Amino acid sequence: MAQPLYLKAYGKVNLGLDVIRRREDGYHEVRMIMQTVKLYDRIILERNHSGNIFLRTNLPYLPVNEKNLVYRAIDIIRREYGIKDGVSATIIKRIPVAAGMAGGSTDAAAAFVGMNQLFALNITQEKLMEYGVTLGADIPYCIMRGTALSEGIGEILTPLPPLPGCWFLIVKPGFSMSTKFVYEHLTLDARTEHPDIDGMVDALFAHSLDGVASRMGNVLEQVTSQHYPAIGELKNIMVENGALNALMSGSGPTVFGIFTSRETAEQAARACGKHPAVRRTAVVRPFNKSLPAKSAGQSGR
């Protein structure tokens, strides 16, 4: 029997998140700048002769059946390629759950990539991303990783130049937010403040960390921060302690700040840790990929 396959499923933050409109099918059209960070879950895959999928996690409240995206990703590949062997999968969670960091999506992305490796299927990345979008709009990005412009419902991806060297402070409060709830309560009107996504793309091509940080914005904050003032309070603490800027990621409630040094980020982590709402802090690097220069208008994978 083949050796177990160990994979890192990296989380993401949204450097910019704009919602353009609500579509007739109920989905929201978005424009986002996505960034992978080096906070990851560990996914372990192993073949077995049972013909079944076995799933276990280190968190007792996570489902270990078809309600789990990892289970469903494994099942899709097994069915599509007529795989008779069973698969045992272990999910060791480190990314906060329901935190706006695509924890479930990145685990599923790792399962798709891992199944491809485990059974030597030679599936292209484009095809894996096609499978991924059937389970969730963030999964294709989590397969691709790095810095990217995300459009449509999140499935249209354009690779961007890597974020210049920096450190992230990631802070998870002790409460969670439902993405569905946030989008259902989002109001888009003339008063909505939209982040400068195009300006952020230009700043990335100019390799300007200050240019990226100064344009950070998230339309969904207007919903989450109304219910949880701690979002704004944590952002302020980060900026007061040296962050170039701070923002809520995704639909929240995770808040992150960008810092030019690890020491400053760790100092801010200590300050945030004193806030009564904070459950966890992490200081990590961005996960970057080297990409050739290309036009921001070009579509990527």
Strand pairing partners for 172? 280
Closest CA to 90 of 107, 78, 106, 109: 107
Q: Would you say 200 and 16 are in contact if contact means Cβ atoms under 8 Å apart?
A: yes
- Active-site residue among 12, 18, 41, 107? 12
Q: Are strands 147-152 and 245-248 parallel, antiparallel or unpaired?
A: unpaired
The strand ranges marked E within 95-218 are 147-152, 156-159, 167-173, 217-218
Side chain identity at 167, as an amino acid letter? W
- Determine whether 12 is an active site residue: yes
CA 263/CA 162 separation, integer angstroms: 22
- Determine whether 294 is an active site residue: no
Quick one: 176 exposed, middle or buried, by C-beta within 10 A (0-12, 13-18, 19+)?
middle
Q: Would you say 182 and 251 are in contact if contact means Cβ atoms under 8 Å apart?
A: yes
CA 98/CA 228 separation, integer angstroms: 15
Q: What are the φ and ψ backbone dihedral angles of 282, each rounded to 5 degrees? A: -150, 135
Buried b (16+ CB within 10 A) or exposed e, 151-171: bebbbbbbbbbbbbebbbbbb
Element (H, E) at 29: strand 28-48
- Active-site residue among 18, 138, 172, 235? 138
Catalytic residues: 12, 138
